[in-house]
Amino acid sequence: MRVMTDDGRQLDAEFKVEVEPEVSLLSLVLESSSGTPTSTDRIPRNVDYRPALGLLLSRLKQRDATLVAGLVDSERTAWLHEAERRFFAEPIRLAEVNDVVALRQRLGTLQGRVGQAPGASGGGNKTRRIRLRLLVPGYELQDAARLEADLAAPAAMSAAALSGLQEGHGFVETAVMMVHVPQTPAALLNLSVGMESNTWGFPGDLDIGQYEYVILGVGASPRVQLDEWLNGSATLYVCQAGAQAYRATAPHMPDEIAEGRVIWRTRIGIEPLGRIDDVPLGSDGPLSLHASDALRRSGTQRGFGRTATTDMTRLFEWMGLAPEPIGQGVPQVPLSRTRPVIVPPTRNRRSRGRSSGAGRQVDARKRQAIEQHAVELAKAHYADEGWEWEELGKPYDLRLTKPGAERHVEVKGTTGAPTSVELTANEVQHAREFPDVDLFVVSDITVTGIAPDFSASGGTVTVLADWEPAEEDLRPTRFEYRLPS
């Protein structure tokens, strides 16, 4: 295949995209150049090597590709070990490259050094046959021919491929945040509480882009080369995105409570949908290669989330769930079809002081302090709106009255994110039967003091007016068991 410029001119440079099944990657192979248009001693070949490489890199950058590895692939270097043929060590995400021309020049310089004797003079051959191993969002191993055609064609001809809507191709790429969780007891305890309280956090103040799902992975060590990573496996916790990133003010995770301070300052809401054990991280697994590499990179960067795209319908198939399309083709699974997600216990895990449910505390007095603080904030909120209030507790928390009007309020408090809350059957039934019910949620509540004297303060208020819980948004988390007679 030859590359065509955006103005329709075909460059004299041969390339191809092929599958490397042994490393579960696609590879772009650019043939070497020799001679010039004016050569008299040999036939010129691939004389547009340099502009073709630059154009291919630019088109790969448009697709948010990552150069996983670069190898000199010539006959003269075939006898060298693969590690000796590599001309750059770390993956290069092209979206982070500001100057593609400078990158092309640097790759030329680096490949020229491969196979040179120690102390050799000169820069070596900079237009050799090279192999660039790739991760390209929207292109899996079976898409080698499609990627090759898209890279060869002018931009206008490959617009359909860029959007992932090329005729006959059924994937839907969805934005996800990939998070690697270490296998330490403290990290796994945080993961368990995060699954129960629908909350996750990152150190520092972060600006996080848009994403639809959060996928947390535990298992394979991330500090390896990508090809080794792709041969590993991990346990994946698949969550729908809840509350978008916010700055936490209240200790919530076990390590935060133990130290009495906020450690994970940037917090997000998550709605766990399922756990998949022993998932292959390569092309035979449910993740795109782009998402798998993002999970690896998260692990090398203190667990900071890394965004990527993947086909969520494939993940849901692995989970045994049937998704439904929502806005712009993003698949979604009703919460009612899922079960609570449990993190397997470890021998070193401590249970004391753990939270449970939507920030619900095991300590009854701490839980009472959180709930009462939320009720007091609700009273003040509705009093400012001119309502008279009466505190009831059951089957709802507040009865509001105005001349000719009555409204009921269910109040919930949590130290975590405003993602989901626990409801009793009576609370659900009342919200469905009474016409005017509000759900008043206070999240990120700070709790201080020592048992039994706890004090709650702060928090962020979320009000759902005229609330009626839909069946698809409810998930059973407890059972009543009838003893045998």
CATH, residue 408: 3.40.1350.10
Q: Which amino acid is it at 79?
A: W
Phi, psi of 35 (to 5 degrees): 70, 180
Residue 242 near residue 270, CB atoms below 8 Å: yes
Residue 210 near residue 272, CB atoms below 8 Å: no
205 and 138: one domain? no
For residue 463, is it within any domain? yes
54 and 123: one domain? yes
Q: Is 110 helix (H, G, I), strand (E, B) or coil?
A: helix
Burial grade of 330 (CB within 10 A; 0-12, 13-18, 19 or more):
middle
pLDDT of residue 477: 83
Residue 33 near residue 86, CB atoms below 8 Å: no
- Give the single-character DSSP code of 155: G
Tokens of 422: 């626990």
Beta-strand (E) ranges in 353-435? 355-356, 360-361, 388-391, 398-402, 405-413
In 3D space, the residue among 275, 293, 287 whose CA is nearest the CA of residue 171 turns out to be 287
Angle between helices 49-62 and 144-152 (to 10 degrees): 120
Q: Note down the domain range covering 82.
A: 2-162
Report how many domains make up the chain: 3
150 and 179: one domain? no
Written as tens digits, the pLDDT of the chain (485 aa) is: 888 887 767 788 899 999 999 899 999 999 998 765 444 444 577 888 999 999 999 999 999 999 999 999 988 888 889 999 999 989 999 999 988 988 998 999 899 888 877 766 666 788 999 999 999 999 999 999 999 989 988 765 443 333 333 333 344 678 899 999 999 999 999 999 999 999 999 987 777 778 899 999 999 899 888 888 999 999 999 999 988 888 999 899 999 988 989 999 999 999 999 999 999 999 889 998 889 988 998 998 877 888 888 989 889 999 998 887 654 557 888 888 898 999 988 655 444 444 444 444 457 888 899 999 999 999 999 999 999 999 998 889 999 999 999 999 999 999 999 888 999 999 999 999 998 999 999 999 999 888 778 899 999 999 999 998 888 889 888 878 888 87
Quick: pLDDT tens for 201-245: 998 777 777 889 999 999 989 988 888 899 999 999 999 998 888
CATH of the domain at 320: 3.10.590
Burial grade of 170 (CB within 10 A; 0-12, 13-18, 19 or more):
exposed
Taking the CB of residue 245, how many other CB atoms lie within 10 A of it?
21
For residue 481, is it within any domain? no
Domain boundary among 306, 337, 368: 337
Residue 312 near residue 322, CB atoms below 8 Å: no
- The DSSP H or E segment spanning 199 is strand 199-202
Q: What is the DSSP string of 410-427?
A: EEEE-SS-SS-----HHH
Alpha helices per DSSP H over 118-198: 144-152, 159-162, 185-197
Tokens of 434: 């009474």
Q: Is 304 helix (H, G, I), strand (E, B) or coil?
A: coil
Domain boundary among 133, 162, 191: 162
329 and 467: one domain? no
- Give the single-character DSSP code of 38: T
Domain boundary among 337, 371, 396: 337
Quick: pLDDT tens for 342-374: 998 865 544 444 444 444 445 788 889 999 999
Cα–Cα distance for residue pair 140/87, rounded to 1 Å: 25
Q: Is 400 helix (H, G, I), strand (E, B) or coil?
A: strand
pLDDT of residue 376: 96
Cα–Cα distance for residue pair 474/263, rounded to 1 Å: 31
For residue 344, is it within any domain? no
For residue 352, is it within any domain? no
For residue 483, is it within any domain? no
304 and 225: one domain? yes
182 and 151: one domain? no
147 and 45: one domain? yes
332 and 376: one domain? no
